[in-house]
Each structure stands twice: as structure tokens, then as C-alpha cells.
Amino acid sequence: MIISVGTDVVSIPRFEGVLQRTEKFKDRVFTAQELLLSSGNPRSTTSLAGIFAAKEAIAKALGAPPGLNWHHCEISHAASGKPEVNIKDSILEVANSLGISKWHLSISHDAELAIAFVVAEGNQ
């Protein structure tokens, strides 16, 4: 059963400006694993914008309650490239309270935009 959905759109040039102006933004928002590709190379700004959109979409699906920690939601990718949601601590607590047991995530990039859409599913 679908419990909630969330979506977010990020302007990639604006996001790049935030990364350049705010030195600690990357460390505050992204986990070490999110910053790197599986090859160990740094992830592109476009890819990071998509991950940021995914985290924002997840927060919206949860109702954006106060106290969520960016690092308690990690976006990873299966070998196929499919994005996956991994949650713990503050975000897991809210998801559990809403009955969310499964996430479906789609991330896309086109021109100067990154978009993420998430569906939160539960057994209610």
C-alpha cells in the first residue's frame, strides 16, 4: 500500500554554486559513500544534485518533520544503476512511525535539472 510520495527538482547550476560557496555543505549533506563512485572517483555535480533531490523527496514523503539528519538517509546504486534508499536512526524512526517498510526511488537528469521521485510503501 502506498503511504506517501515525495518529489524534488534541483537546478544543477544553482546547486553547483552552493557547493562552491559553502565549503562544508558536502560533508553536512552527503555521506562519504555518496560522494564517490564505485570506482573511487569523485561523483559529478550532476549526480550529487540527483542524490540531493532524492534526499529532499524522501524528507517530503515523511512530512519533513524537524530533527532529520541528512546522514541518516543514504542513496546508493545497485550494480544495475538502480538507485536505492538506505535509512537509519532519525529517518528510520519517522518511517517506522508512519508504517513505511519499502521505498521506490527514481532519479533523472536533463539539461540543467535533476529530479527525484519517491514512493513510500507499507503494509497497512
Whether residue 109 contacts residue 50, with contact meaning beta carbons closer than 8 Å, is answered with: yes
**pTM, two decimal places:** 0.95
The structural domains of the chain, with segments of one domain joined by +, span 2-122
- Residue of 86, 74, 107 whose CA lies nearest to 8: 107
Over residues 37-94, the pLDDT tens digits come to: 888 899 999 999 999 999 999 999 999 999 999 999 999 999 899 999 999 999 999 9
What cell was used for 93? 524512526
* CATH level 3 topology of 2-122: Ribosomal Protein L22; Chain A (3.90.470)
